Amino acid sequence: MKAYRIEGRRHFLKIAGTAAAAVAVNAVLGSAHAASEPLKIGVIGSGRIGSALGGVWVKMGHKVMFSSRTIENDKKLAASLGPNASAGTPQEAAAFGDVLLIAVPYRAMPDVGKEIGGAVKGKIVIDPSNPIPNRDGETATWAREKGAGYATAELLPGARVVRAFNAIGYARMAKAHETPGERIGMPMAGDDAKAIEVASRLIREIGYEPVLVGGLAMGKYLMPGTPLAGEHTPDEIRKIASTLK
C-alpha cells in the first residue's frame, strides 16, 4: 500500500510538472505572439515628431491614425503612407488607439486632456512633449515644478504614461531604423510595467535601444538641457541616470 502511494505521488508530480511546464511554455509563446501582433496607435499632434514616429510605425505594420487641428493635413499624410494609415479628430484617434502618442506643444496638453477625456483611461500614452517656458508659458512652468512625467499623468487622468522621445531630433528619429549596427539608447521613464514593455517595443522599431531610467519622477530629466539630452549609448544613459535624483 505504501509503495502504491509513493508511485502514485510520483506519477501525480510528474503530470503536475508537465502541466506546469506546458503552461509556462504557452505563456512564453503567447507573450512572443502578442509582441509580434500589430498595434493600433493613435497619434495626437501630427507635426514633426508625430509624423516622424507614426510614419515609421506604419512601415513596421502597425495601424496608425493621425490627428491634429488640421484634418486635411492629416489626410494627406495618411494617404502618403498607405492603407495602414488613416486620419481623424483627436477624439477619434484617442478612441482608435490601444496606444497613444501625444506630441503637442506642452501649452496644449491641458486642452488635449479635456478634449479626449475618458478615452485615455487605461491606455498606454507615450509622451514626447516638453514643457518649454518661453514657448508654453505658465503651463510649462507648472509642469517643470511638478515634474514633466507627473504633470502629464495629472492632465491625462487614468492614462498609463511613459515619457520617451524627448531629447533627440525628429529628423534623426525618422531615419534611425534604417541604420543597422550599435544602437543609440533611448531613455524612458514610467511606472506601469505593461506600458514600459509596449513602449520598449515601439522604441526598438524606431531604431533605438530603450533604457528605463526610473519611474515618472525621472521624467523631469527627459527633455532638452538636462544631462540625458542628446544621443548616448545605453551604458552612458545608465551611468548618467545613476547620478540624478
Residue 224: phi, psi to the nearest 5? -60, 145
pLDDT, tens only, 191-230: 999 999 999 999 999 999 999 999 999 999 999 999 999 9
- Of 231, 191, 190, nearest to 207 by C-alpha is 231
Q: To which residue does cell 529628423 refer?
A: 171
Are 98 and 40 within 8 A, CB to CB? yes
pLDDT at 179: 78
Q: Report the share of the chain in percent with pLDDT over 70.
A: 84
Q: Among candidates 170, 183, 157, 178, which has minimal Cα distance to 237?
A: 183
3-state secondary structure 13-30: HHHHHHHHHHHHHHHHHH
Q: With pLDDT > 90 as the criterion, what percentage of the chain qualifies?
A: 76
Name the pLDDT band for 49 (thresholds 50, 70, 90).
Answer: very high
User: What distance in Å separates the CA atoms of residue 120 and residue 37, rounded to the nearest whole number?
Assistant: 21
70/75 Cα distance (integer angstroms): 9
Q: Where residue 78 falls among pLDDT bands split at 50, 70, 90?
A: very high
Strand, coil or helix: what is 162? Answer: strand
What is the model's pTM?
A: 0.84
For cell 502514485, name the residue: 8
What does the chain come to in residues?
Answer: 245
* Element holding 171 (H helix, E strand): helix 170-175
> DSSP code of 230?
S
Strand partners, 214: 189
Which pLDDT value is given to residue 53? 96
Q: Which residues 6+ apart lie within 8 Å of 60 measured at CB?
A: 177, 205
Res. 31: pLDDT tops 60 = no
Residue 233 has pLDDT above 90, yes or no: yes
- CA distances in angstroms from 66 to 69, 122, 129, 138, 194, listed in the order given: 11, 20, 16, 28, 24
**Domains plus CATH for the chain?**
37-242 (3.40.50.720)
